[in-house]
Amino acid sequence: MENLFEDYMAARCLIKAQKKKIEEFESGDRYLKLQRDYRRVSAGYIKEIKKLRAENGALNARLISTRNMWSDDYYALWEECQKQLAKKNEAIRSLEDRIFETERKSDERISRITLDYEDKLCEKDCIIEELTNQLAHAKALLDHDGTNTNTPTSQTPPGKKKRIPNTRTKTGRRKGGQPGHEKHDLQEPDDSEITSVEHHGEDSLEDFACPECGGDNYVAVGEPEIKYEYDVEIVVKKIKHIFHYYECLDCGTIFTEEIPPNLRGKAQYGSGIQALALSLTNTVNAAMNKTSMFLAGLTLGELRPCEGYIAKLQKRGAKGLIQFREDLKAELITRQIVYWDDTVVMILTKRGCFRFYGDETIAYYTAHAKKDKAGIEADGVLCLLTKDTFVMHDHNTVNYNKKYHFRNIECDQHLERDLQKNSDDTMHEWSSGMKSLIGKTIKERNQASIRGEKAFSEPYIAEFHKKLDEYLADGWVQNEKDRKKYGAKEEAALLRRIDEFRDNYFLWLHNFELPTTNNLSERALRGVKSHMKISGQFESVEAADNHALIKTYTETCRRNGINEMEALRRLCEGNPFTVREIFSKSPPQ
């Protein structure tokens, strides 16, 4: 950035000197200087011409004075004078030609220098414009934050103030509990819930003493002071399972009770610690070595599953959820509104893709080696949706493929960020005005929805689109005026996008049940970005998809009120919750 600024200032100084020379030509100062140089050269030639003409005059006078003299020498003298006169006249013509040639060359030089400086000035103007745009681009990159791009707050550079987007209306009230707000404390447990009782003082009277006199002669009086404490204690259970063999008295067959699949080896970790390991790895996003360390610390060193075991546990858990994923997809495609988004993850040092589909009760995740249309086709979700389904997304143009039949809804919060970015980059006012219009309308829509209204009136919608047209017209005027300005191309693309997809951006004007943002998808993908910060990458596409499968299961259970540890414990026991069980406990939205 510093080198770019120095180059820019050096170019400005050079252009200033060039402009000064051009101004000398335009004012005539430079021409007068060249003219003075020409006159100094021509003055010597003119002086020589005057001398020759004076000598010619002397010769002519001599001829006239000798005209009446009749002498044999007259003709010889006359011829000699004629020769000298012709020679002098030839010298005069030669000098006059040289003067003309000098004047011509001087004019050509002036024209050539003028054109050369004009070309250089034009070139330097182009350099200045390019450097100005580069500086504007660098400034725009420095100004990028959560208000004008999708940059998360966590990526705010050191020394720069964090800007957290917040569309809530300020109430003017102070932070924290409000006057009259009921204080919520832990409730006293019922006597039947008490797991242990501790009597303080009775078992160690020798340590007590009167705080006034120091005496040790005292008795208990009055009602005791009672306090309650909630706490947890990790107890390592070592369970012995005994399976007896039996002999059939009818046929003599020796058999035993069926051994559960989670008790395959002679000794193994139970479903409780397995569930905790999966939760730490997939929900807390702890690295596998940190999960091992945490479990060892939690059990005071008694249990410390190695990283290899946790990796195998991850793979085994995902394998047990393949049917769950298929059943959940069948449930997902019946929903009226489906949100989806994807994000880049690192898979073995290369850019991969982690994708989300779902709504308030379904979280369906997939992972792929590339972020492309082939991955979407492999997911097999969008192609199964019908025209009765609305799909919310962040202007993913693949959604407008003719093979899909659903209706698209564009995220207005992303549009507001793009408008803010345009205002920051170009300083044009139309985008700020349009952003304010959209934000104001969304707030009015939320208030109307609280009042029980289902949609805006037709006159209100017509007025909204009229104002939108005015901002678009102003935008094109400002864009045409500043075509060379940084951000002009991006601004034109934004104007075309709004004009082409305005119906998809503002479907919620006609139906308040439709969402205005795709925040649900963005929130669903934040966990995997945290996973990338901690673990750096997935070791393979299979490992990324295993994470997606387990996250699909736990997140869907959580959204439907099922405890995650209970869900993971059942998974580790080989009996995960089914889609039918989940939605029988929590009816679909």
Give the β-pairing of 337-347 and 390-393. parallel
Least confident of 118-127, 357-366, 495-504: 118-127
By residue count, the chain amounts to 589
| pLDDT over threshold 80, residue 518 | yes
CA 510 to chain centroid, in Å, comes to 31
Give the β-pairing of 245-247 and 254-256. antiparallel
At 536, is the secondary structure helix, strand, or coil?
A: coil
Least confident of 61-65, 271-275, 440-444, 523-527: 61-65
At 465, is the secondary structure helix, strand, or coil?
A: helix
At 482, is the secondary structure helix, strand, or coil?
A: coil
Digit-coded pLDDT (tens) for 381-440? 999 999 999 999 999 999 999 999 999 999 999 999 999 888 888 889 999 999 999 999
Q: What is the 3-state secondary structure (H, E, C) of 82-129?
A: HHHHHHHHHHHHHHHHHHHHHHHHHHHHHHHHHHHHHHHHHHHHHHHH
Task: Round to whole Å and give the CA distance between 385 and 380.
Answer: 10
CA 222 to chain centroid, in Å, comes to 67
Domain spans of the chain, in order of start: 1-97, 412-509
Segment 1-19 mean pLDDT: 61
Least confident of 221-230, 246-255, 310-319, 502-511: 221-230
Give yes or no for a contact between 132 and 486, defined as CB atoms under 8 angstroms apart. Answer: yes
| pLDDT over threshold 60, residue 205 | no
DSSP string, 269-310: --HHHHHHHHHHHHTS---HHHHHHHHHHHTTTS----HHHH
Give me the pLDDT at residue 70, please.
47
| 0.75 exceeded by pTM | no
Query: 169-180 b/e with 16+ CB inside 10 Å = b?
Result: eeeeeeeeeeee
* Most confident of the following: 36-45, 128-137, 220-229: 220-229
In what helix (H) or strand (E) does residue 312 lie, and over which residues does it extend?
Answer: helix 307-319
Give 164's DSSP letter: -
Q: Which of 416, 442, 434, 464 is nearest to 512 (CA)?
A: 442
CA dihedral 9, 13, 16, 20 (to 10 degrees): 180
Give me the pLDDT at residue 159, please.
64
Joined tokens for residue 215: 């005496």
pLDDT above 90 as % of the chain = 45
Digit-coded pLDDT (tens) for 94-123? 776 776 777 677 667 767 766 776 677 777
Task: Round to whole Å and give the CA distance between 331 and 579.
Answer: 8
Give the β-pairing of 350-358 and 407-410. unpaired
More reliable by pLDDT, 33 or 199:
199
Give yes or no for a contact between 20 and 116, defined as CB atoms under 8 angstroms apart. Answer: no
Digit-coded pLDDT (tens) for 217-232? 777 777 888 888 888 8
| pLDDT over threshold 90, residue 2 | no
Task: Round to whole Å and give the CA distance between 356 and 391.
Answer: 12
Query: What residues contact 547, with CB distance under 8 A and at least 6 apart?
Result: 282, 314, 318, 367, 528, 531, 538
Give 134's DSSP letter: H
Task: Round to whole Å and give the CA distance between 252 and 250.
Answer: 6
pLDDT mean across residues, the chain: 82
CA distances from residue 343 to 303, 408, 557 in whole angstroms, order as listed = 36, 20, 23
Q: Where do the DSSP E strands lie in 362-412?
A: 363-368, 390-393, 407-410
CA distances from residue 158 to 151, 153, 161, 163, 530 in whole angstroms, order as listed = 14, 12, 8, 13, 19
| pLDDT over threshold 70, residue 584 | yes
Beta bridge partners of 314: none
What are the backbone angles phi and psi of residue 199, rounded to the nearest 5°?
-100, 120
Joined tokens for residue 566: 């209970």
Segment 341-370 mean pLDDT: 94
Joined tokens for residue 510: 């006609």
Task: Round to whole Å and give the CA distance between 569 and 262.
Answer: 11
Give yes or no for a contact between 559 and 360, defined as CB atoms under 8 angstroms apart. Answer: yes
State the pLDDT confidence band at 525, using cuts at 50, 70 and 90: very high
Beta bridge partners of 408: 391
How many helices (H) and strands (E) are present in the chain, helices listed first?
17, 7
For residue 212, how many other CB atoms are within 10 A of its CB? 6
End-to-end CA distance of the chain: 52
More reliable by pLDDT, 273 or 261:
273
Give 507's DSSP letter: G
More reliable by pLDDT, 111 or 308:
308
Task: Round to whole Å and give the CA distance between 542 and 563.
Answer: 27
Joined tokens for residue 517: 């943002």
